[in-house]
Structure 1
Amino acid sequence: MNINDFLKSLKPRKIKLGHERTINLMRECGNPQKGLNAIQIAGTNGKGSVCAILERIYRTAGYKTGLFTSPHLNRVNERIRINGNAIDNLEIYNFLSNYGRSVIKSDASFFETITAIAFWLFKKQEVDIAIMETGLGGRLDSVTVCEPIATGITKIAMDHVEILGDSIEKIAYEKAGIMKKQIPCFTIKQNQKVLAVLKNHAIENKCSLKVVDPKENKKTSLHGKHQNQNLGLAMSIIESLNQYIVSDKHISSAMRSLKWYGRYQVLSNSPKIIFDVGHNSNGISAFLNTFSSEKIAGKKYLLIALQSRKNISDTSIQLLNLFDKVLCTEIRVKNYMPAFELRNSLLNHKKTEIVSCITNKYLEGFIQKLEPEDALCIVGTHYFGELISNVFKISFDNL
């Protein structure tokens, strides 16, 4: 069995929440999370962008960085990076050679195993700082076994309600679970109900909670006003950690060279082709607000696919008003939303059309028919990543 087959075999039928399996696996690996200078980020939208900003700035300042994010776009290796570069298969093989039996013994899930590999490798590589993106929620997420030097919470909105709870307060409670005693926590301006939950949790954990302002940087490659919130959060965390020397010059240089794939990623300028993994109502709304400022002389097309249980009904009118044609498709992986169901959520509008099971050939052919002044936006599930990589001949390995 090769690496990918083994990792896929660990994927549970249901998401496994709780720390018991992760703690057991960490113990078998020598507890690499202990003594590791980590920053943990949680939230509904923007946590990956905050992690990417932090990693790029610290790397530019001369520090050796570890970055753990999820999900990946094309290769599982993208989830774990050293100095911005995805790890190679040999590192995964080495971990599994040493601790594969422990993975099986602890009944660890795919995500718990990948998290353990990240901690183990970051400790082995002696990174100066590890930037850790929470997988789902926070309180019971396996990343939360880390011992952070700071935590950050991005925009909290309704998502994964079947797991995290059916109210914004319940979801906020789960996200707040990353707070640690006497470890500073930072967040953006939130819904008042969300902020009340976060403040109460901070008091219970005897940790400071700072609500930060947005920060604008016109030279960054990150598009959209929502990224100002993410930048403000990242900068506040950096300013609080005096053990790291980061200058304004480092920040300016990092923001100019920052890459974060799948976040309003411009794949072509003529015709305009954009790839964005906004995959819930809040993420798609942020994408639409950014795209609405584009000057497109030709026709505007949207290719969209989502995972099941994603409710984007509150963005449907804005979406339909913005595009001339909406192609509803599906990436047939676990828990995908059928194209007909997606079209139903868009009111079966005359602008919508079903494209069952998108292929490389279909996308290549569609792009060839575009006029130079047209625009195509590929939006939704991260599982578009493999298609994008194949059609545009690009890799997501190096930041």
Structure 2
Amino acid sequence: MNATVSAPSSTAGLDAWLRYLEALHPSEIELGLERVERVRQRLAIDPAPAQVITVAGTNGKGSTVRYLETMLRAAGYRTGVYISPHLRVYEERVRVNGVQLDAGEHVRAFQAVEQARQDTSLTYFEFGTLAAFWLMQQQALDVWILEVGLGGRLDAVNCIDPDVGIVTSVGIDHIGFLGDDRTGIAREKAGIFRPGKAAVIGEPDFPAEVFSALAARDIHPVRVGTDFDYQLAADGQSWRFSGRHSQLHDLPLPSLPLPNAATALMALELLPLPVSEQALRQGLLCASEAGRLQFVAGDPDYLLDVAHNPHAAAFLANYLQQRFPQRPVFAVVGMLKDKDIPGTLAELTPVVERWFVADLEGPRGAAAAELAAALPGASVHEFPAVTAAFQAACQAARESDSQPLVLVCGSFYTVAKIPEAE
């Protein structure tokens, strides 16, 4: 702990507490459960009798969480959701019955964690995670839906035992913490699974070497393509789901990624709470997430997506080809320098006609010149800020006769800048 940092006063607001959390621990990320578990026990945090669903994965966590939330709420259950990071305001991280809690509630939770931690040092994420759990425990919830921050096994969220664990996907990201080997990354993410409890894998290419280790721990996941599957209808307007015990046909096409909808349906089939087919259909139609395949109609139309690694970029490129096959794409991109910039941009190159790359502010932000260097031979325009790049892309789209779609992607930080540009 930084000994020079003092806790905010009893009357301090949320911004003061967030500054305190940022300064409290010497490192932004410190994986491990010992410290967070110690404070969790002092806070007496225990979800029981609520059911817990924990969602890990390289990509697709946020949309899977949203599907689970909307379908369970449509079935009449009281839900608590914890996600990270937030897109625009910190309050986005906790939802109770689909509603964000106000800043004062978060301050109360921070005060409770501060009192309980005593001399235990917590990172920003660990502190916020415990505060979220404390807030959810104050509610009479039927289901806790928790999104893992990084990895799985050593992530602070994993101090809570899930009744259903989900791994949505396995790709290369957070190399400095998880390594650059998919097998090792898969092991870390599968660390959220518990012996004898339900486990769902939505990654079709999950490393086979990990299954034997899971079986030795009495963990037997259901897998996409083996135990459950889904298929888009020939007309592209509906889809079907095949689970272990259910067959659903002519399902409404959701606005979020379809693979994650199927994974969420499989998880709900394993959850010991009944959910009607009507609730499933209603929840699929209601599911949307800011910054994830978020289409905004206007002059011009634009699409916001937080894709920031090759795995997510490949999915985004395929989505663009399927949904907007006749429209050129003008891409506004800002990225963090610790991401795989060449690999991510390479996945998007086949669908992007013009690039508008921008400096991303902050110590982790990459310069526009670095992005441009990864796009040799392409039509690239560099800008000092995301807002300037977005404005230029929109103006270029208005002047074009081919009705281009403006795509904004590369980072949560990039997408979060767009309302300032409207």
TM over 0.5: yes
Shift of 1:294: 4.2
- Amino acid corresponding to residue 292 of structure 2 in structure 1: R
The one-letter code of the counterpart of 1:300 is V
* Matched ranges for 1:1-399 at <5 A: 1=8, 2-11=13-22, 12=25, 13-33=27-47, 35-103=49-117, 105-191=119-205, 194-197=207-210, 199-212=211-224, 213-215=228-230, 216=232, 217=239, 219-223=252-256, 227-242=257-272, 244-295=273-324, 299-314=328-343, 316-317=345-346, 319-347=348-376, 349-359=377-387, 363-364=390-391, 366-368=393-395, 370-371=397-398, 373-392=403-422
Gaps in structure 2 of 5+ consecutive residues = 1-7, 233-238, 240-250
1:305 touches 1:329 (CA, 8 Å); kept in 2?
A: yes
Q: Which runs of 5+ in 1 are unaligned?
A: 393-399
- Secondary structure in 2 matching 1:309: coil
1:292 counterpart SS class? helix
Q: Please identify, of 68-77 and 211-220, the stretch whose mean Cα deviation from structure 2 is larger.
A: 211-220
> Shift in Å at residue 175 of structure 1?
0.7
CA distance in 2 between counterparts of 1:302 and 1:82 reads 35
Task: In structure 1, give the amino acid aligned to 2:218.
Answer: K
Listed one character per residue, the Cα deviations across residues 164-221 of structure 1 (whole Å, up to 9, x for unaligned) are 01211111111111111211111024325x1321x12322321221113343546343
Encode CA deviations 1:343-367: one digit per residue, 9 max, x unaligned: 22223x34112112223x6634653
- Counterparts of 1:298 and 1:228, CA distance in 2: 22
Cα offset, 1:63, TM superposition:
0.5
Tell me the distance in 1 between the aligned counterparts of 2:338 and 2:55.
Answer: 24
Quote the Cα distance in structure 2 between the aligned partners of 1:116 and 1:271.
Answer: 42
CA drift at 1:335? 1.5
* Number of residue pairs matched by the alignment: 384
In structure 1, C-alpha distance between the alignment counterparts of 2:380 and 2:392, rounded to whole Å: 19
In structure 1, what is the Cα distance between the partners aligned to 2:117 and 2:365? Answer: 28
Aligned to 1:326, the other structure's residue is in SS state strand
**Letter of the aligned partner of 1:389 in structure 2?**
P
The CA deviation at 1:222 is 2.3
In 1, Cα distance between equivalents of 2:76 and 2:220:
28
Deviation digits for residues 125-159 of structure 1, max 9, x if unmatched? 12110110111001100000112111111110111
Query: Which letter does structure 2 place at the counterpart of 1:311?
Result: D
Q: In 2, distance between residues paired with 1:70 and 1:99?
A: 18
Secondary structure at the aligned position of 1:232 is classed as: helix
Task: Measure how far apart 1:309 and its partner are.
Answer: 2.2
Deviation at 1:261, TM superposition (A): 1.5
How far apart are 1:45 and its partner, in Å?
A: 1.0
Does the C-alpha gap of structure 1 residues 34 and 112 become closer, same or farther in structure 2, counting only changes over 3 Å?
Answer: farther
Alpha-carbon distance between aligned partners in 2 of 1:122 and 1:345, rounded to the nearest angstrom: 44
SS of residue paired to 2:408? strand
Normalising by structure 2, we get a TM-score of 0.84
Distance, in Å, in 2 between the alignment partners of 1:52 and 1:296 is 27
The whole-number CA distance in structure 2 between the counterparts of 1:333 and 1:32 is: 37
Offset at 1:320?
3.0
User: Structure 1: which amino acid aligns with 2:255?
Assistant: L
Q: 1:220 to 1:123 in 2, by over 3 A?
A: farther
Q: 2:396 and 2:343 mapped to 1: Cα distance? A: 31
Is the contact between residue 341 and residue 371 of structure 2 (CA under 8 Å) also seen in structure 1?
Answer: no
Instruction: Compute the RMSD of aligned alpha carbons.
Output: 2.3
Q: Deviations over 1:312-331 (max 9, x none)?
A: 43454553342221111132
Distance in 2, matches of 1:364 and 1:357, equals 10
Which range is displaced more, 286-295 or 101-110?
101-110
Identity of aligned residues (%): 26
The one-character-per-residue Cα deviations of 1:246-293 (angstroms, maximum 9, x if unpaired) are: 111111111112111211100125422000011100101111111123
CA distance in 1, matches of 2:48, 2:97: 21
Counterpart residue number, 2:236: none
CA positional deviation for 1:98:
3.0
Q: Distance in 1 between matches of 2:417 and 2:287?
A: 23
CA contact (8 A) 1:56 1:258 kept: yes
